[in-house]
Chain A
Amino acid sequence: MWRACASKGAFRIGVLCAILIPVAKVMTKRLKHTQNDPNEEHVTINSRLYADLPIHGISTPSRCNLTIQHHLSRIPCITVGGVSSQLWSLKGSHAHITFRHLGYTYIQVKSLKQKDGNRAVPRSVVREKSPPTSCESSPIAASPMGTPLRKVLNRISGLASSCRSKSGPRGRCQIFHRDVGQEEFQYASAHCLSSYYSVFVARLAIMVMLAILIALLTVLTWHFTKMYTTKSLKTLAFGLRYELLQRPILRMWGILNSTSEITTAQVKLSEYVIRRYNKPSTQAEQVELYQMMKDITWALFASRKALNAITINYKNGFVQAFHRDHKNNNTFYIYSDLANYSISGTESSSSKMLLTRKGWNDQFIRGNVSAIWYREPLDPISGEKTGKALPIPPDEVINIAGPSQVPDGVASWHVAVSKYTDSPLLSAALPVWDSSNTSIVAVVGVTTALFSVGQLMKELVEVHSGYIYLTSHEGYLLATSTNAPLLKNTTNGTKLMMAVDSEDRVIRMGAQWLQKAYGNKFPPGDVVHVEKANLGGQHYYIDLFFLNLKRLPMVGVIIIPRKYIMGKIDERSIKTLIILISASVGILVIGCVSILILTNGVSKEMKLRAELISHLNARRRAEASSNYKSQFLANMSHELRTPMAAVIGLLDILICDDHLTNEQYAMVTQIRKCSTALLRLLNNILDLSKVESGKLVFEEAEFDLGRELEGLADMFSVQCINHNVETVLDLSDDIPKLVLGDSARVVQVFANLISNSIKFTTSGHIILRGWCENPNVSTYSGKFSPDLKKPLSALKTKLKHHGNHMKKASKRDNKIVLWFEVEDTGSGIDPSKWESVFESFEQADPSTTRTHGGTGLGLCIVRTLVNKMGGEIKVVKKNGPGTRIRLFLLLTTTDGTEQHGQMDFANHSVAVILALHGSMGRLVMSEWLSRNGVPALEASEWNELKQILHELFHPRTRNRVFDDHYSRGESLRSRIHSLQDMANLVYIVVVDMRLFDLSTDIWKEQLNFLDKFSGRVKFAWMLNHDTSNAIKIELRRKGHVLMVNRPLYKAKMVHILEAVIKERHAEIHKRSPKGNKGGSHECLEIDSTHLETCSSDDSEISEKGGAVHTGEQTREGTVKSNTANCQTPKNCLVELTRLGSEMNILRTAEDECDAWPELHDTEDAKSENSNSLEQHHVSSSTKDRDNLYTSKAVNGEKSLEGLRILLAEDTPVLQRVATIMLEKMGATVIAVGDGLQAVDALNCELDGKEYRRERLQTDIHDSHPYDLILMDCQMPKMDGYEATKAIRKSEARMGWHIPIVALTAHAMSSDEAKCLEVGMDAYLTKPIDYKFMRRTHESSLGVVRVSGVTLLRDDICIRDDICRGIA
């Protein structure tokens, strides 16, 4: 049963769950859905918003065609400045738009920002600017779950805002804005409501489920508990009832039995006695008989205490009776008067009786009414007479059983009443037969009170409860458990009471109920059990027991109130039910609360998740739009670049026009500058978008980092010249010479940083520091001030994060960490902006756009590039004004051969006097010198230099007055003295041209003054870019040839030192005044690269010449490194080389020993005579490269004078054109038809050279057969790429590098990459433009001639664009 119920319950729960789970799922989906929606909605709103905007004059294609179109339509509206004021007037709405679409509204915000001058981040701009109404509603829209309270608030605020907007007339902007606001608001409220309901329903469902579950459990528990108890109790109660009923019945039965026994005994005894005294003839006999009978009867009567009376009624009418009055506990002997009875009379009457049996009836007795009755009290125990027999009135006589009661001679039973007892009496009568058994001689009656039955019932009821009664078949009450009277007094005397008339209410009602239920016909069987009889509003159990005696059928009834048996249980069950219900209610409440809490958590989580999803969506959108933006920018800038290139190209053509007036020329120049700036900006944007779209790929090529940076310094020092800013390069010695990486990008990083610094620095210096992170380099970093170390270590720890696991890898891969610092003394950056300056379009101070121009893209590009190179960049603290930006790069060194071929200057007893204008550069340089063991003196101005020279060489003038003007005179003097102590010291004076007073002609005197020392010291002149030719000519005239351009950095210094040392060696060893003035001198012109090359050349020369000197070994390294570096343009002094080779050709027959000094002579003469102009041109073309466009190349026509150019071109037309072009520029052109021929031509030359070399052994200037190769890319037989590869291969054998310029019709960058990949140095696009060709040639030769390789490469790239634009 239980199990069945349980399984049923389980089934129900299962069904419930099955119903509820999909519901919950659907609800969750709905929730998600509703929470995902907002973005789409926003989009539509916004797109409509755009469409509504009248200001742009753009018809956007209706709804939500998403961002790219907006981009396209919006960008012009920003770039076209005219609308910006209108734009600005609607800034509120703009801010609103911006809030949604961060991606492409950057620019828009930017436009606002620039107008406004507000420097906040776009997002915050929006927040601040959005008007209050929208502020109220839009955040709510963002929160998916609004509380009802908030909804009400919303509604109110919405109403308020709408009222407000209705009340006052407003501009179109506001109306439009309100519309949007309301729309959003409506959306928000609907959204809130729906999500609220769905969560509410979900909760409700879960609660209902729980409630049902608990109720079910409760009911089941209660039900089964109750059932069980009730059942067992009922069984018990049934037993009890049965038992209870049984006992009185048994008692009754016992009474009946005993009565019957007594009666029978009395009868038998009477018979015996009467037989004995058969036929008493005499009165005496009669009396004796009666006496005998009295004794017997007494004996029996006394033996049974319960007997009420025993009567013997003789047939003659005499009555003997013993009566016991239980009330008074008296025993009486009652007898009738014997006087009236005769034996005969008795006999006759007895015979009569025999005849008419009916004669023995009450009538008979009554007939004896006349007889006098006596009552004699007896001692109840002994039976002795205790009193006098008194006659009693007949109504006091007890019931005497007469013959009427035994009419048929058998025993009769009946219930009688007596006035002595208040309970019914059970009387039995038996006839006493005579000996012949034919006639009845007497009737014996025994009366027993039923009182004891009642007593028993009472006792039972006392113990238990309820009511018991016994009735006769007719319904007369025989005994009850109550005290209610059983008899009623009627006019006819006391009579038995019917049960239905009982005074006891319960018995009466029970009897009535029974009568109603069964009538007089009782159901068959002994026992009837009735449960739940409703008697007077109460439930009772009624049990009937039928005692089916033949003569005296009786019914026992027990009525037990249900309350007695079941009361406790009912009570308990109710209590249990109450407890269960309250417990389940409690559980339900707790469950509901916990569900609320749980679902609250879940809903919160859901809310958060939805928010997250929406955020992700928004982010994805923003990213997508950002991507679109990048793509768009890339496309746009690419598209813009083409016309820009065309513009620039055309301007160049215009500049070349001879017919321009000066004003026009100036204007065109200006336009060109601006165009170049614009093009640079476009390039920046393109770079940025390239990086952002991840398309930027770094090439891995070997490059000389130091050289690149030196080139940069050179370039920027030119720019700085107008700013009074000093550019200083301070590279540590441990920086590897060759690293692998994308040189262009590395240079771009520093170029951007430095140009940025220049922009903000009006005076002071800009330092580019570089050092290598190495455990053993700490000595070097020790030179930095301690405050510098702190951020360094911070950065280092940062580096360690990815450095740790990288360390091993980097060890293996030769990765090194290069640290750089770009420091300036400019306006500086506020520390709060240190992070944000690297964002795109971000500038530390918005006003800078006005003053300095720029877009704020530079630093962003720098950071992305640095990050891509595995580095990090940040602004660090700096003492004093200015900015210090520190970065590190992860670059790969080529291998362990990073030894510097630097000589040990300390052994050469040289001292340097740095007469430099810029203090920082001087300081850095002197520190470097002293680190390398070269004593250095510093002079910052002319007078100081003068003083030092005086001190050194005219010690006697030491006490002159001007000494005292200088505060540091003493220390200086002591240093000078210490220097003077060192014997045989060679002084090198590096003189900055700015020390001279150039405004007047004083410089000449100054020069003359210095010239006086020229015998004792070596001068190295540091030229400015604007140093006039007059000065240079003057210098050269005076024999000062050691000239360098500003700025002075390590490499240049090294070259100066080397040149001087070498010269000294030459002086010492050669002892030849000719040689002294020769080769070494004229090489020391212009630039460091020259120096290096020349020195190496010279060293080779001396080696080849068999001359042995001491300095040789030390210089060995330099030579080696130079030869190993194929990128190093060795024979850059082309004119010399060319001349040299010509000389060689001319003098094939000459003796080798004589050959080379003479060679130098010739060279010298040649270069001095014919090539002085040309030299100048070369120098100016390299130095003043930035002036290239502004100044007409005067000598351009013959700029390629004397160059041998190999042209490989298959198209005859092109070949011819190019040949003529080049020839016009003065070059010697050898044209070949295809790549194979080109390679052959080259090899032929080489072989010839080899051959000559073998023969002469004086082929010291192992010069190239050609100075330049122009290579068409697409050629029959062997194309340009293959040819280049072949040439490079053969070159590797020879150890030189002929610049190869590609000629290609493909203007794609992939071709460029391919060209550079195979080893070409630059490329030109077809059709060959005369001017550009010239320039390219110059620059590619410049690659050879000057150190600024990258710069040139950049130039070439720009030129490519130009060419592309024109083509």
Chain B
Amino acid sequence: MDLVQLQRQLVDYKTSLYNEGFLDEQFTQLQELQDENNPDFVVEVVSLFFEDSERLLNELTKALEQQSVDFKRVDAHVHQLKGSSSSIGAQRVQKVCIAFRNYCEEQNIEGCVKCLQQVRHEYSLVKTKLESMFQLQQQILSAGGSIPM
């Protein structure tokens, strides 16, 4: 009973994530890729994403704090962030990244800084969401159930 409830909770949670636009079908694909050979594939990729993103965010913060901002570098970082976020389906991060890149092209420091904050915000949001989802999954798994798709 508890398990069923947990499973339903997970499904609802996932649906809400999709509906609120945190995730898109890329994440679904990611999940599809997960199989017996790679049981923790999604978690692995997502944690990779977290690592990478944090690194990138730090780099970005550093880059934007500098006197003369190297927009090329910033752009490259944002590009990477965008690529990785789109790969896991973190839609909202990706969207902000697009705006970010536009500001970069305009060489608008204020816009960049604003975007950086937004990205950070979105990133932390999606991170918490995903972490809580993984926790749920973990609970289900530990309860001996299977994760519903």
Contacts and interface: CB of A to CB of B under 8 A. Distances in A.
Interface of A: 653, 1210-1214, 1216-1217, 1220-1221, 1223-1224, 1274, 1276, 1305, 1326-1330, 1367
14 contacts: A1211-B84, A1212-B51, A1212-B84, A1213-B52, A1213-B84, A1217-B30, A1217-B33, A1221-B33, A1305-B82, A1326-B83, A1326-B87, A1327-B89, A1328-B87, A1367-B86
B83 to A, nearest CB: 5
Nearest to A1214: B87
A1327 B52 CA distance: 16
A1305 B87 contact: no
A1214 B84 contact: yes
B86 A1330 contact: no
B87 A1220 contact: no
B48 A1212 contact: yes
B35 A1274 contact: no
Nearest to A1306: B79
Interface string B23-42: 00110011011010110010
B44 interface: yes
B88 A1213 contact: yes
Given A1216-B45, A1217-B30, A1330-B29, A1211 B83 contact: yes
**A1212, A1223, A1328 pick with most chain B CB within 10 angstroms:** A1212
Nearest to B80: A1211
B143 interface: no
A659 to B, nearest CB: 12
B13 interface: no
A1330 B32 contact: yes
A409 B73 CA distance: 160
| 5 cross-chain pairs, A with B, having the tightest CB-CB distances, nearest first | A1213-B84, A1327-B86, A1213-B49, A1214-B87, A1211-B83
Given A1220-B33, A1274-B79, 16 more contacts: A1210-B80, A1214-B83, A1214-B84, A1216-B44, A1217-B33, A1217-B45, A1217-B87, A1217-B88, A1220-B41, A1220-B45, A1305-B79, A1305-B86, A1327-B87, A1327-B89, A1328-B87, A1330-B32
B141 interface: no
A1217 B87 CA distance: 7
B52 A1329 contact: no
Contacts of B32: 1330
Contacts of B35: 1224
A653 B30 CA distance: 15
Nearest to A1276: B76
Nearest to B38: A1220
A1367 B85 CA distance: 13
A1211 B41 CA distance: 16
B23 to A, nearest CB: 12
Nearest to B46: A1213
Contacts of B79: 1274, 1305
B47 to A, nearest CB: 10
B81 to A, nearest CB: 9
**A1211, A1212, A1329 pick with most chain B CB within 10 angstroms:** A1211
B87 A1224 contact: no
A1211 B48 CA distance: 10
Interface of B: 25-26, 29-30, 32-33, 35, 37-38, 41, 44-45, 48-49, 51-52, 76, 79-80, 82-84, 86-89
Nearest to A1274: B79
Contacts of A1224: 33, 35
Contact of B87 (A653, A1213, A1274, A1276): A1213
A1223 B35 CA distance: 11
A1274 B80 CA distance: 9
Contacts of A1328: 87
A61 B116 CA distance: 43
A1264 to B, nearest CB: 26
Contacts of A1326: 83, 86-87
A1328 B25 CA distance: 11
A1216 B47 CA distance: 11
Contacts of B86: 1305, 1326-1327, 1367
**A1213, A1223, A1276, A1330 pick with most chain B CB within 10 angstroms:** A1213
Contacts of A1330: 29, 32-33
A1233 B26 CA distance: 22
Contacts of B83: 1211, 1213-1214, 1305, 1326-1327
A1305 B97 CA distance: 12
A1217 B86 CA distance: 11
A190 to B, nearest CB: 56
Contacts of A1221: 33
Contacts of B26: 1327, 1329
A1274 B73 CA distance: 12
Contacts of A1217: 30, 33, 45, 87-88
B36 to A, nearest CB: 11
Contacts of A1329: 26, 29
A1274 B48 contact: no
B79 to A, nearest CB: 6
A1197 to B, nearest CB: 10
Contacts of A1305: 79, 82-83, 86
B126 to A, nearest CB: 13
Nearest to B82: A1305
Contacts of B38: 1220
A1212 B52 CA distance: 7
Contacts of B48: 1212-1213, 1216
Contact of B52 (A653, A1211, A1276, A1367): A1211
Contacts of B87: 1211, 1213-1214, 1217, 1326-1328
A661 to B, nearest CB: 20
A1346 B41 CA distance: 35
A1216 B44 CA distance: 9
Contacts of B49: 1213
A461 to B, nearest CB: 123
Contacts of B25: 653
Nearest to B83: A1211
A1211 B38 CA distance: 20
Contacts of B84: 1211-1214
A1216 B88 CA distance: 10
A460 B80 CA distance: 139
**B32, B52, B79, B80 pick with most chain A CB within 10 angstroms:** B80
Nearest to A1329: B29
Contacts of A1213: 45, 48-49, 52, 83-84, 87-88
Nearest to A1303: B83
Contacts of A1216: 44-45, 48
A1187 to B, nearest CB: 24
A692 B76 CA distance: 38
A398 to B, nearest CB: 151
**B29, B30, B87 pick with most chain A CB within 10 angstroms:** B87
A407 B116 CA distance: 163
B63 to A, nearest CB: 15
A1224 B41 CA distance: 12
A1221 B41 CA distance: 11
A1213 B49 CA distance: 6
Contacts of A1220: 33, 38, 41, 45
A1223 B86 CA distance: 20
**A1224, A1327, A1328 pick with most chain B CB within 10 angstroms:** A1327
A1367 B38 CA distance: 26
Contacts of A1276: 76
A1274 B29 contact: no
A1216 B89 CA distance: 14
A1192 to B, nearest CB: 15
Nearest to A1366: B25
Contacts of B76: 1274, 1276
Nearest to B55: A1212
Contacts of A1211: 52, 80, 83-84, 87
Nearest to B88: A1213
